[in-house]
Structure 1
Amino acid sequence: MRRAAPFGPNLFASVMGTGIVATAGAAMPGLRTPATVVWALDAALLAFLVVAALRRWTWATVRDQLADPVMAQFWGAPPMALMTVGTGTLLLGSDWIGLTAALAIDWTLWTLGTALGLMTSVLVPLRMIGSGERAFGGWLMPVVPPMVSAASGALLAQYLPEGQFRQAMVLGCYALFGVSLFATLVIVPQIWQRLVQHGLGAASTVPTLWIVLGPLGQSITAANLLAGVHVLPGQTAFGVLYGTTTWGFALLWVAIAATVTVRTARRGLPFALTWWSFVFPLGTLVTGTSTLAKHVPSPMFTCVSIELYGALVLAWITVAVRTLAQRSA
């Protein structure tokens, strides 16, 4: 009798990856309708996984998963999945269900996702203190949700009435931005040090190198979306300056991660759910590049965002097909 595949928080990475294809597609010319269809698929996938999680997970299950030094990192996926679907609902789902309902859903998912994300940002790093574990790309997963909150919150802030409440929302989003940014600045050097001193490790962990793009691309997106709310002086300048410098490093990391991935694939890169690391992080770079294109009068960002989106869709199709094949085997 075939043993059922374990149901862990890493499954929610499929919601993140599918959702970023939809939200990134919202900014692509002529793709609004297909992007909305992908959002609907993603919302259904989230509902299915949430129901399955409520049926399968117990406090003991959660405790055991948090005790696992690898699986614990992927508890950052559920809050990001919630907020990704919420953002898609606002950007795309409003065409079908109306703006009022879309805002209500997005606020609910954003609130839940932000609360859960702040919990993972504290609890998972605390769990790693004294563990002696070596850093890998997955260590970024529990600290990226606040950056997703900052970007998603910037979109919601645009619908708040002008005044102190909107300003407080924007300031809160910048604080969430800082939570994730400075945690990333602590973790990425550890990942680099591990690569230099100990090498790549198991082939199945190589895709997690792409997770570094997550906080980079999402921070570019957040900085430039917050600039569009216009409640603080210098927001646009900060978004462009921070965005372009971070964008340059992100492209450098794409080159490194792609080269390592190709070399590993030649020797053998077995499929695992870590392959979803190819999708969402790349999608954040697409959204970040698209938001930069709105503030910088240069066709370069527009052209690059379209090219990156093509790569994103190809990665999503490849990983989704392999995931379905694995889960049904």
Structure 2
Amino acid sequence: MNRSACVGPLAPTAHRKRRPLLAPSWFAAVMGTGIVANAAVTLPRSFHPLRTAALVVWLGAALLLVLLAAGYLRQGALRSHAGDPVTAQFFGAPPMALLTVGSGALLLGRPLIGAETALDVDWVLWSLGTVLGLVTACAVPYLMVTRHRFTPDAAFGGWLMPVVPPMVSAATGALLVPHAPAGQPRLALLLGCYAMLGLGLVAALLVLAMIYGRLVHHEAPAGAVVPTVWIGVGALGQAVTALGALAAVAPSALPAPYARGTEVFALLGGIVLWGFAMLWGVLATALTVRTIRAGLPFAPTWWSFIFPVGACVTATSALAGRTGSDLFVWIAVPLYGLLVIAWVVVTGHSLGHARRHLLLDPAGDMS
């Protein structure tokens, strides 16, 4: 493992330098908590108590987003984090946190805050998250090309983080398409979401190829880097989710022949990408089991287990609804149960980590 892949928020702190308390990777906790709530709404089999529990989880994600955003902005660490070749990759986490909480407002928050307020919250958070996500998707690769330097074995799952936000914008933006003014504004939003889906998906496939090349040609990843392999599952799952969500709202903006084409694209393209996600998931599972046997230290990268599995749940649920296949139902429901168990475990470790650093060592590094 090269040095650039073993610094920043991924590795245990080998030397205790005074650094900013929060790294952007911690926003993955908001992403993971938010998708646990949102995925409950998309399940092909659900019940009222689950939706109530999901509302409580969404409120927790919203509160955590406020606390992390305030803490991160207060420490003024943007420039120093941008200069770190590993930490900079996780600039994709804050915009995805905004997008996840925003979509949760529309999916879950209406009984609590009202339909109009929920819609306004989603518009604000989606707009802010989309702008930040597009900036990240352009700025981080530019920094990688012009400023950061990497060894041949430097590629890891975190490289997907800057390019995935536009896909999350596409999937969550589909919820807002029916609420956009009819005509050109609605069409522009729909087409913009498809463009962002293409931006994120093609870029993610390029990065996945680099990660696979790194896995094949160099030593297998170890320690806290391993959970980031799961981000590939999340990227592919988001693409499937976005295809299904956009096809569902396309008839409100596109003429009939093209609207029907989006449905075909969502079905065939979604199943193809879902199959690739399953392959990547098997690889990630095998690497994780291998690492657990050797010892897997806790790090913020453990949240890389949560959002990707959640995206896989929403993708599988979308295919279940589109195809009517019981196969996808039988996969989506148990997968959601696994997601909840993993979220409880990671949340418990995260709270313990925060307690140790904030109460026992207030000046310590929480990256």
Does the CA contact (< 8 Å) of 2:222 and 2:291 recur in 1?
A: no
Hey, what's the Cα distance between the residues in 2 that align with 1:162 and 1:63?
41
Q: How does 1:272-283 map to 2 (within 5 A)?
A: 272-283=299-310
1:7 aligns with 2:7: no
Partner SS for 2:179: coil
Match of 1:74 among 67, 71, 90: 90
One-letter amino acid matched to 1:172: G
Hey, what's the Cα distance between the residues in 2 that align with 1:259 and 1:132?
26
Partner SS for 2:85: coil
Match of 2:229 among 205, 209, 234: 209
Partner of 1:17: 32
Higher RCO structure (Cα 8 Å, ≥6 apart): 2
1:293 aligns with 2:320: yes
Partner of 2:243: 223
One-letter amino acid matched to 1:293: A
Q: How does 1:220-259 map to 2 (within 5 A)?
A: 220-229=240-249, 230=251, 231-232=253-254, 233=258, 234-259=261-286
**Identical-residue share of aligned pairs (%):** 52
Q: How does 1:131-150 map to 2 (within 5 A)?
A: 131-133=149-151, 134-150=154-170
Q: How does 1:111-126 map to 2 (within 5 A)?
A: 111-126=127-142
CA RMSD after TM alignment: 1.6
Using the TM superposition, give the Cα deviation of residue 163 of structure 1 relative to its aligned residue in structure 2, in angstroms.
Answer: 2.0
Does the CA contact (< 8 Å) of 2:37 and 2:58 recur in 1?
A: yes
Number of positions where the alignment pairs a residue of Structure 1 with one of Structure 2: 326
Partner of 1:313: 340
Using the TM superposition, give the Cα deviation of residue 149 of structure 1 relative to its aligned residue in structure 2, in angstroms.
Answer: 0.4
Hey, what's the Cα distance between the residues in 2 that align with 1:96 and 1:223?
29
Q: What is the TM-score when the length of structure 1 is the normalising length?
A: 0.96
Q: How does 1:34-73 map to 2 (within 5 A)?
A: 34-57=53-76, 61-73=77-89
Q: What CA deviation, in whole Å up to 9, does each residue of 1:212-255 have, x standing for no partner?
A: 01210001000000001123311111101111111111111111
Partner SS for 1:269: coil
Partner of 2:287: 260
Does the CA contact (< 8 Å) of 2:167 and 2:197 recur in 1?
A: yes
Hey, what's the Cα distance between the residues in 1 that align with 2:161 and 2:38?
20
Does the CA contact (< 8 Å) of 2:241 and 2:315 recur in 1?
A: yes
Any unmatched runs of 5+ in structure 2?
A: 1-15, 357-367
Using the TM superposition, give the Cα deviation of residue 4 of structure 1 relative to its aligned residue in structure 2, in angstroms.
Answer: 8.3
1:271 aligns with 2:290: no
Does the CA contact (< 8 Å) of 1:5 and 1:327 recur in 2?
A: no
Q: What is the TM-score when the length of structure 2 is the normalising length?
A: 0.86
Hey, what's the Cα distance between the residues in 2 that align with 1:2 and 1:144?
31
One-letter amino acid matched to 2:60: L
Partner of 1:106: 122
Hey, what's the Cα distance between the residues in 2 that align with 1:323 and 1:196?
32
One-letter amino acid matched to 2:65: L
Using the TM superposition, give the Cα deviation of residue 132 of structure 1 relative to its aligned residue in structure 2, in angstroms.
Answer: 2.5
Does the CA contact (< 8 Å) of 2:20 and 2:75 recur in 1?
A: no
Hey, what's the Cα distance between the residues in 2 that align with 1:51 and 1:251?
37
Change (3 A) 1:201 1:260: closer
Q: What CA deviation, in whole Å up to 9, does each residue of 1:58-94 have, x standing for no partner?
A: xxx2111011111000000000000100000000011
One-letter amino acid matched to 2:73: L
Hey, what's the Cα distance between the residues in 2 that align with 1:82 and 1:211?
18
Change (3 A) 1:68 1:210: same
Does the CA contact (< 8 Å) of 1:24 and 1:283 recur in 2?
A: yes
Does the CA contact (< 8 Å) of 1:218 and 1:285 recur in 2?
A: yes
Hey, what's the Cα distance between the residues in 2 that align with 1:271 and 1:45?
20
Using the TM superposition, give the Cα deviation of residue 161 of structure 1 relative to its aligned residue in structure 2, in angstroms.
Answer: 3.8
